[in-house]
Amino acid sequence: MRLCQQLWKMWIPTQPYPHLSKMFLKHFTSRNIGLVVRLNSELYSPSFFTSLGIEHLDMIFDDGTCPPLSVVRKFITLAHEMITVQKRGIAVHCKAGLDEQDV
């Protein structure tokens, strides 16, 4: 997980970014990530992931707040499906990186 955190912080910018590093995408596919959940504003196109067979979901809510119950329920349902049924991993991130969420 620590490597993933470092990679994410290196390649996710603070402004819209038209191209994600191929090395970053390769890292996700090699780790069998099946779902990327973005908690911040759009800084990249989800198609970078979806074109590789990785689902992408925006679950945006205000920084420093708890997500609405509907968002939590949706996440739990999707996490169960991805991890238990499909046997794939999940990457959750905000602008600061993968290690900022207590998921």
| Catalytic residue annotation | 94
Closest CA relative to residue 20, chosen from 86, 91, 103, 82:
91
Read off the amino acid at residue 22: K
Q: Is the dihedral of CA 62, 66, 68, 73 positive or negative?
A: positive
Decide the pairing of beta strands 33-38 and 89-93.
Answer: parallel
Q: HEC states along 38-49?
A: ECCCCCCCCHHH
